[in-house]
């Protein structure tokens, strides 16, 4: 859990709670290391793989759409996104 908490910038207890929820939902499996039972490895389940694949396909489609934009359209889009981000934090 230490690696996960460090990577996400959260407390160890929060990482454990997060992983517990993912295990309970069927997205992640815990596997204890055969040589060191204190070591726990996580693996993604098929259920999670389906969601990851769908999200990946949606992101790829979005990137392909961005490729069709002109430089000016990309600049305009960036300005809009910056404004949306600013207003979402107010």
Q: Sort 5 into a burial class: Cβ within 10 Å, 0-12 / 13-18 / 19+.
A: middle
**C-alpha 82 chain-centroid distance:** 22
pLDDT value, residue 38: 85
What pTM does this model have? Answer: 0.61
Give the whole-angstrom CA distance, residue 7 versus residue 15.
10
Map residue 29 onto helix, strand or coil: strand
pLDDT value, residue 24: 96
pLDDT tens per residue, range 13-68: 999 999 999 999 999 999 988 898 888 899 999 999 999 999 888 888 888 888 88
């Amino acid at each position: 859990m230490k690696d996960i908490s460090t990577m996400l910038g959260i407390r160890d207890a929060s990482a454990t709670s997060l992983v517990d929820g993912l295990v309970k939902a069927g997205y992640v499996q815990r596997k204890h290391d055969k040589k060191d039972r204190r070591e726990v490895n996580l693996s993604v389940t098929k259920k999670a793989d389906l969601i990851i694949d769908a999200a990946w396909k949606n992101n790829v489609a979005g990137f392909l759409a961005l490729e069709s934009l002109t430089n000016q359209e990309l600049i305009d889009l960036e300005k809009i996104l910056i404004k949306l981000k600013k207003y979402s934090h107010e």
